[in-house]
Amino acid sequence: MLKYFFLVWILVGLMIAGIYGIPGAKDSRPPLRLFPDMDDQDKVSAQTPGGSRLPVAGTVPNTGDDGVFSVEFGAGRTGYYYTGLTDGYFGTGMPEELELTEENVAQFLARGEERYGIYCAICHGESGDGQGTVAMLGVNGVRNLHETGEAGFDAENYPDGRLFEVITNGKGQMGAYGMNIPVNDRWAIVAYVRALQEAREISNNEEETN
Ligand code: HEC
Protein backbone atom coordinates (compact mmCIF):
# COMPACT_ATOMS: atom_id res chain seq x y z
CA MET A 1 0.00 0.00 0.00
CA LEU A 2 2.71 2.46 1.06
CA LYS A 3 4.64 1.51 -2.06
CA TYR A 4 1.84 2.80 -4.30
CA PHE A 5 1.54 5.93 -2.26
CA PHE A 6 5.16 6.88 -2.98
CA LEU A 7 4.78 5.86 -6.59
CA VAL A 8 1.82 8.22 -7.01
CA TRP A 9 3.78 11.05 -5.37
CA ILE A 10 6.70 10.52 -7.75
CA LEU A 11 4.37 10.43 -10.75
CA VAL A 12 2.65 13.61 -9.67
CA GLY A 13 6.06 15.29 -9.20
CA LEU A 14 7.17 14.21 -12.65
CA MET A 15 3.95 15.50 -14.15
CA ILE A 16 4.37 18.95 -12.56
CA ALA A 17 8.01 19.11 -13.65
CA GLY A 18 6.94 18.00 -17.12
CA ILE A 19 4.41 20.76 -17.45
CA TYR A 20 6.18 23.65 -15.71
CA GLY A 21 9.83 22.65 -16.10
CA ILE A 22 12.42 22.28 -13.40
CA PRO A 23 12.58 25.35 -11.13
CA GLY A 24 15.47 27.64 -11.99
CA ALA A 25 16.26 25.91 -15.26
CA LYS A 26 16.71 28.23 -18.24
CA ASP A 27 14.83 27.63 -21.45
CA SER A 28 15.04 29.60 -24.68
CA ARG A 29 11.46 28.85 -25.60
CA PRO A 30 8.75 31.24 -24.43
CA PRO A 31 7.06 29.98 -21.29
CA LEU A 32 3.86 28.06 -21.55
CA ARG A 33 1.10 30.41 -20.46
CA LEU A 34 -2.12 28.82 -19.39
CA PHE A 35 -3.46 32.23 -18.34
CA PRO A 36 -1.84 34.95 -20.46
CA ASP A 37 -3.15 37.80 -18.24
CA MET A 38 -2.87 40.27 -21.12
CA ASP A 39 0.95 40.03 -20.93
CA ASP A 40 1.25 40.43 -24.67
CA GLN A 41 -0.56 43.36 -26.19
CA ASP A 42 -0.08 46.15 -28.68
CA LYS A 43 0.54 49.27 -26.66
CA VAL A 44 3.00 52.07 -26.13
CA SER A 45 4.79 51.61 -22.82
CA ALA A 46 5.76 54.47 -20.55
CA GLN A 47 9.40 55.61 -20.78
CA THR A 48 9.85 54.13 -24.27
CA PRO A 49 10.23 56.25 -27.42
CA GLY A 50 6.82 57.66 -28.14
CA GLY A 51 5.61 56.56 -24.70
CA SER A 52 6.35 59.73 -22.77
CA ARG A 53 4.27 62.31 -24.51
CA LEU A 54 3.31 65.66 -23.11
CA PRO A 55 -0.39 66.13 -22.32
CA VAL A 56 -2.52 67.71 -25.01
CA ALA A 57 -2.45 71.51 -24.87
CA GLY A 58 -5.11 72.86 -22.52
CA THR A 59 -5.25 69.72 -20.37
CA VAL A 60 -6.46 70.54 -16.84
CA PRO A 61 -4.55 68.73 -14.08
CA ASN A 62 -6.75 66.83 -11.65
CA THR A 63 -4.08 66.18 -9.08
CA GLY A 64 -5.65 66.31 -5.67
CA ASP A 65 -5.84 69.10 -3.19
CA ASP A 66 -2.66 70.90 -4.21
CA GLY A 67 -3.41 70.82 -7.92
CA VAL A 68 -4.79 73.81 -9.75
CA PHE A 69 -7.95 71.87 -10.44
CA SER A 70 -9.32 71.39 -6.93
CA VAL A 71 -8.41 74.86 -5.67
CA GLU A 72 -9.94 76.60 -8.63
CA PHE A 73 -13.07 74.48 -8.31
CA GLY A 74 -13.17 74.63 -4.51
CA ALA A 75 -13.24 70.89 -3.79
CA GLY A 76 -12.99 70.21 -0.06
CA ARG A 77 -12.56 73.91 0.81
CA THR A 78 -14.38 75.83 3.50
CA GLY A 79 -15.42 79.45 3.95
CA TYR A 80 -17.99 81.71 2.31
CA TYR A 81 -16.10 82.08 -0.98
CA TYR A 82 -15.97 78.32 -1.53
CA THR A 83 -19.31 77.23 -0.03
CA GLY A 84 -21.68 80.21 0.20
CA LEU A 85 -21.92 79.51 3.93
CA THR A 86 -21.00 81.76 6.86
CA ASP A 87 -21.24 80.06 10.25
CA GLY A 88 -23.49 77.38 8.80
CA TYR A 89 -25.96 79.79 7.17
CA PHE A 90 -26.17 80.93 3.57
CA GLY A 91 -24.76 84.42 3.38
CA THR A 92 -25.47 87.29 1.04
CA GLY A 93 -23.06 89.61 -0.70
CA MET A 94 -20.04 89.09 -2.89
CA PRO A 95 -17.06 87.51 -1.07
CA GLU A 96 -13.98 89.71 -0.70
CA GLU A 97 -11.79 87.08 -2.40
CA LEU A 98 -13.27 88.35 -5.69
CA GLU A 99 -11.54 91.68 -5.03
CA LEU A 100 -14.32 93.60 -6.72
CA THR A 101 -13.78 97.29 -7.30
CA GLU A 102 -15.75 99.95 -9.12
CA GLU A 103 -13.37 99.54 -12.03
CA ASN A 104 -13.63 95.76 -12.49
CA VAL A 105 -17.26 95.09 -11.51
CA ALA A 106 -18.62 95.69 -15.02
CA GLN A 107 -16.16 93.17 -16.41
CA PHE A 108 -17.18 90.72 -13.67
CA LEU A 109 -20.86 91.07 -14.59
CA ALA A 110 -20.05 90.64 -18.27
CA ARG A 111 -18.23 87.43 -17.40
CA GLY A 112 -21.31 86.32 -15.45
CA GLU A 113 -23.56 87.11 -18.39
CA GLU A 114 -21.38 85.09 -20.73
CA ARG A 115 -21.16 82.11 -18.32
CA TYR A 116 -24.90 82.26 -17.61
CA GLY A 117 -25.49 82.14 -21.36
CA ILE A 118 -23.30 79.05 -21.63
CA TYR A 119 -24.45 77.09 -18.58
CA CYS A 120 -27.88 78.23 -17.45
CA ALA A 121 -29.84 79.88 -20.28
CA ILE A 122 -30.48 76.57 -22.04
CA CYS A 123 -32.88 75.72 -19.20
CA HIS A 124 -33.66 78.92 -17.31
CA GLY A 125 -33.89 81.12 -20.41
CA GLU A 126 -31.89 84.21 -21.41
CA SER A 127 -33.92 86.36 -19.03
CA GLY A 128 -34.14 83.78 -16.23
CA ASP A 129 -37.86 83.23 -16.62
CA GLY A 130 -37.51 79.43 -16.80
CA GLN A 131 -38.48 79.33 -20.47
CA GLY A 132 -35.21 78.15 -22.00
CA THR A 133 -34.92 75.72 -24.90
CA VAL A 134 -35.07 72.72 -22.59
CA ALA A 135 -38.29 73.94 -20.97
CA MET A 136 -39.80 74.65 -24.39
CA LEU A 137 -38.98 71.09 -25.45
CA GLY A 138 -41.32 69.95 -22.70
CA VAL A 139 -39.21 69.49 -19.56
CA ASN A 140 -41.38 70.54 -16.64
CA GLY A 141 -40.29 72.22 -13.44
CA VAL A 142 -37.42 74.43 -14.67
CA ARG A 143 -37.39 77.18 -12.10
CA ASN A 144 -38.42 80.70 -13.01
CA LEU A 145 -35.64 82.65 -11.30
CA HIS A 146 -37.93 85.67 -10.88
CA GLU A 147 -40.60 83.83 -8.95
CA THR A 148 -41.42 85.31 -5.57
CA GLY A 149 -43.78 84.26 -2.85
CA GLU A 150 -44.38 81.74 -0.12
CA ALA A 151 -44.70 78.68 -2.33
CA GLY A 152 -41.54 77.22 -3.86
CA PHE A 153 -38.77 79.55 -4.86
CA ASP A 154 -38.62 83.08 -3.49
CA ALA A 155 -36.19 85.19 -5.50
CA GLU A 156 -36.46 88.20 -3.18
CA ASN A 157 -35.34 86.33 -0.08
CA TYR A 158 -32.96 83.90 -1.72
CA PRO A 159 -29.42 84.37 -0.34
CA ASP A 160 -26.49 84.74 -2.75
CA GLY A 161 -24.73 81.91 -0.92
CA ARG A 162 -27.65 79.57 -1.58
CA LEU A 163 -27.58 80.46 -5.26
CA PHE A 164 -23.87 79.68 -5.27
CA GLU A 165 -24.53 76.36 -3.54
CA VAL A 166 -27.26 75.34 -5.99
CA ILE A 167 -24.90 75.98 -8.91
CA THR A 168 -22.21 73.95 -7.12
CA ASN A 169 -24.26 70.94 -6.03
CA GLY A 170 -27.49 71.14 -8.02
CA LYS A 171 -30.93 70.66 -6.57
CA GLY A 172 -33.69 68.17 -7.29
CA GLN A 173 -33.90 67.82 -11.05
CA MET A 174 -31.07 70.27 -11.64
CA GLY A 175 -27.57 68.82 -11.93
CA ALA A 176 -24.40 70.03 -10.18
CA TYR A 177 -22.05 72.41 -11.99
CA GLY A 178 -19.31 72.58 -9.35
CA MET A 179 -16.95 70.45 -11.40
CA ASN A 180 -17.53 72.48 -14.56
CA ILE A 181 -17.59 76.07 -13.41
CA PRO A 182 -14.67 77.48 -11.38
CA VAL A 183 -15.55 79.21 -8.07
CA ASN A 184 -14.92 82.70 -9.45
CA ASP A 185 -17.22 82.14 -12.40
CA ARG A 186 -19.95 80.75 -10.14
CA TRP A 187 -19.96 84.02 -8.21
CA ALA A 188 -20.02 85.95 -11.48
CA ILE A 189 -23.13 83.98 -12.46
CA VAL A 190 -24.70 84.71 -9.05
CA ALA A 191 -24.09 88.42 -9.59
CA TYR A 192 -25.55 88.25 -13.08
CA VAL A 193 -28.70 86.40 -11.90
CA ARG A 194 -29.12 89.17 -9.32
CA ALA A 195 -28.81 91.77 -12.07
CA LEU A 196 -31.46 89.93 -14.11
CA GLN A 197 -33.80 89.87 -11.11
CA GLU A 198 -33.18 93.53 -10.42
CA ALA A 199 -33.88 94.45 -14.04
CA ARG A 200 -37.11 92.47 -13.98
CA GLU A 201 -38.24 94.20 -10.82
CA ILE A 202 -37.57 97.64 -12.27
CA SER A 203 -39.51 96.85 -15.45
CA ASN A 204 -42.38 95.41 -13.37
CA ASN A 205 -42.56 98.58 -11.31
CA GLU A 206 -42.58 100.69 -14.46
CA GLU A 207 -45.47 98.66 -15.82
CA GLU A 208 -47.41 99.22 -12.62
CA THR A 209 -46.92 102.97 -12.67
CA ASN A 210 -47.71 103.31 -16.39
C1 HEC B 1 -30.53 71.14 -17.47
C2 HEC B 1 -31.38 72.21 -17.04
C3 HEC B 1 -30.83 73.20 -16.05
C4 HEC B 1 -29.66 73.92 -16.12
C5 HEC B 1 -28.61 73.88 -17.21
C6 HEC B 1 -29.62 74.77 -14.96
N7 HEC B 1 -30.74 74.55 -14.19
FE8 HEC B 1 -31.22 75.54 -12.48
N9 HEC B 1 -32.86 74.37 -12.28
C10 HEC B 1 -33.30 73.43 -13.18
C11 HEC B 1 -34.48 72.77 -12.65
C12 HEC B 1 -35.26 71.68 -13.34
C13 HEC B 1 -34.71 73.34 -11.39
C14 HEC B 1 -35.81 72.96 -10.38
C15 HEC B 1 -35.13 71.97 -9.44
C16 HEC B 1 -36.07 71.30 -8.49
O17 HEC B 1 -36.61 71.99 -7.60
O18 HEC B 1 -36.27 70.09 -8.67
C19 HEC B 1 -33.70 74.36 -11.20
C20 HEC B 1 -33.62 75.17 -10.09
C21 HEC B 1 -32.76 76.24 -9.95
C22 HEC B 1 -32.78 77.17 -8.85
C23 HEC B 1 -33.77 77.17 -7.67
C24 HEC B 1 -33.32 76.22 -6.60
C25 HEC B 1 -34.30 76.21 -5.45
O26 HEC B 1 -33.85 76.44 -4.33
O27 HEC B 1 -35.49 75.96 -5.68
C28 HEC B 1 -31.78 78.06 -9.08
C29 HEC B 1 -31.41 79.24 -8.21
C30 HEC B 1 -31.12 77.67 -10.31
N31 HEC B 1 -31.73 76.56 -10.81
C32 HEC B 1 -30.07 78.33 -10.88
C33 HEC B 1 -29.34 77.86 -11.98
C34 HEC B 1 -28.14 78.47 -12.48
C35 HEC B 1 -27.50 79.73 -11.94
C36 HEC B 1 -27.71 77.69 -13.53
C37 HEC B 1 -26.45 77.86 -14.36
C38 HEC B 1 -25.22 77.64 -13.65
C39 HEC B 1 -28.67 76.63 -13.69
N40 HEC B 1 -29.63 76.74 -12.73
C41 HEC B 1 -28.60 75.64 -14.67
C42 HEC B 1 -32.72 73.14 -14.39
C43 HEC B 1 -31.50 73.61 -14.83
Predicted structure pTM score: 0.74
* pLDDT tens per residue across span 60-94: 666 655 555 677 888 888 999 999 999 999 999 99
Closest CA to 112 of 131, 98, 97, 123: 98
Angle in degrees, CA 32, 37, 42, rounded to 5: 100
Question: For residue 33, is it within any domain?
Answer: no
In ligand 1, the atom with minimum distance to the C-alpha of 189 is 35
Question: Where is average pLDDT lowest: 4-8, 21-25, 117-121?
Answer: 21-25
In the reported structure, the alpha carbon of residue 167 is separated from the centroid of ligand 1 by a whole-number distance in angstroms of 7
Which domain, by its residues, includes 150?
A: 68-209
Give me the residues paired with residue 85 across strands: 90
Q: What is the pLDDT of residue 27?
A: 79
Probe residue for ligand 1, chosen from 126, 136, 143, 160 as the CB with the greatest number of ligand atoms within 8 Å: 143
Residue closest by Cα to atom 5 of ligand 1: 120
Kindly report, residue by residue over 182-210, the tens digit of the pLDDT.
999 999 999 999 999 999 888 888 877 76
User: Looking at residue 112, which CATH number applies to its domain?
Assistant: 1.10.760.10
What is the per-residue pLDDT for 203?
Answer: 83
Domain count, the chain: 1
**For strand 89-90 and strand 85-86, is the pairing parallel, antiparallel, or unpaired?**
antiparallel
Coil, strand, or helix at residue 15? Answer: helix
- Answer whether residue 155 is part of any domain: yes
Please report, for residues 76, 101, 122, 164, 187, the alpha-carbon distance to residue 97 in angstroms, rounded to integers and kept in the order given.
Answer: 17, 11, 29, 14, 10
Establish if 48 belongs to a structural domain: no
Residue type for position 32:
L
| 35 found inside a domain | no
Around ligand 1, the residues with Cβ closer than 6 Å are 119-120, 122-124, 134, 141-143, 145, 153, 163, 166-167, 171-174, 177, 189, 193
For residue 116, the ligand 1 atom closest to its alpha carbon is: 37
- pLDDT-based confidence at residue 173 (cuts at 50, 70, 90): very high
Residue 45 lies in a domain: no
